[in-house]
Structure 1
């Protein structure tokens, strides 16, 4: 008897174990087949992810044509050429009904998947994070070609999963009203709230603080992520200078974790402001080490700024901090307000404003009860809205709707 698996999922984001973890919370894993890159390279090849078979999952591995880049390589990011031959086989073997491509509508990768899906008689679902309209990101011929590709991808699609509410609004305005397109607002995965949770600080605090050379009475401010201009870390460093000089917070340390193009520039800024004893840089860390570091922190700061037509599209780091019960200070840009509840789980300030950032940090650091209340509200919000369990249920229910057509 044929084993029926109606839903096929592909897309390089799910090569990352952190994102694939969401599927462990599916109600019926037997409904799904995964087609993923055998090898995925990230952060300019510094991170190599080899595909591993997982118990309870049906997974096929294919070679990726491109890991991203400029021009044509960028347009084919995550493209698995072998899917042209594999998809018809999977359609017959499992009586598949749906192909979900976790791939943006401005990529040729998505278009190729959409075409082969239709040739195989499959419903096609795609994904987008894009929360800024094309006209604010590009002009001229590039804008026209991009919009043409996006609309073409919508034509070959039956549904779209949007990573944030602003993306859903953009899709509604771009799609053809003559073409039915179902929309779900959900990130590609949730937060592992079993791993990112409040820990007994006594178990970890002395070890981490000893490693970092931080005294027990010092308040710890944390950031982790890419060290590039979009993250606004130069603004955060200026805010730390204000905290030290204007707010007289002598027992405060900022930990910056990550790598990126702005690393040397940021270190020079720290030196010029004479903050070497206040700011510590740490290299990129595996995700498994972050819960402990979050739990020894007093506040998580994410000073993201708009950059070149880009704005923050979700913010997993902020959600992880909230899941650990840590209050968050972030900026009013992009879709951050969908992750951080201003005045409840954290405080939001205007981007590129070190004065507002310093005031918000000070307000939380000076009031332990206020900080604790925010941390508790943040964890509850993430549990109810962005845990792996919640997101898996939303994605599963949405995709199954297309199997009944």
Structure 2
């Protein structure tokens, strides 16, 4: 790493305060909010400071180009800047900051790109506001219809279309962008590892092999509201009991199958301390190494919910809100990355259970991922961390990859 490595900590300090909640210490950078606008302004300023050609595409994704975008066969890198509720500093932003720093590193090396290079910030990757992950990349890849996207609604009843319009983005323009994707020859996303595999291997950087299939399901439990202090236990139709039993069943079914299942969001009506709930709505996130196992786990959780609901006099309905099949990253590109980074010792190649824009785009363009060590393994939390030396190692690795792909 040359002295240009100083650019990374400077960018990191500039971005760090944006959207940070003083109480939790986590980030609330939700799509199409003022915090998101500040992040987007930061991205644009970084592009313009480097003399890169800046543009926003029809779906609100931001692009910064070195070279002619129309030339085609571009090498693109980047990630996202939005967050989950009270998320950590590294999930998403590490990839964007590292991408700009890697371009700086290439220039410091005197590398001359033979292919266009670009840094991208995909909008609304986490889905924290509207409930669907990877909206920007899904729209671009044609995996989400404009009609369905515009109809997404946040907790306050604001639609995605309304939020985009308020932020100055035209919601009528959103949709598939095959011409743009046709110009991309490879997409490489750097991301903090959301787990401890690299830490256990004592390695700062790794290459992704695949993304587990994953999805989100909404479980609705409908019972009968009543007085908590006067209604006999025998007369209750309490959906909270059914929901609680389903949460425990999810843990058990996932553990037995070697999968993951999490109820991380819940809404209760009427949500009174002295009232039996009339409805409980819970959102299940489930992931597994293969699609058959995932389907079996979710089916088993649904069956457990319905069986308990029948005992409790509670109606149960289940809606799949999103699903991403298993992603095997392009083997040739993955192996190229491993070869570029494995001169001293073989670079770790590992799967992940977390979804990413690279996974969405993999159906349309060759994609690959680099992971940077997370010593605690904690993610989607203010405790998420990565050592500066490891971050700089990630920048160096990404610069090596970009040089190998675009400059040779």
Normalised TM-score (structure 2): 0.28
**Higher RCO, Cα 8 Å, sep 6+:** 2
Q: Which has the higher strand share?
A: 2
Normalised TM-score (structure 1): 0.28
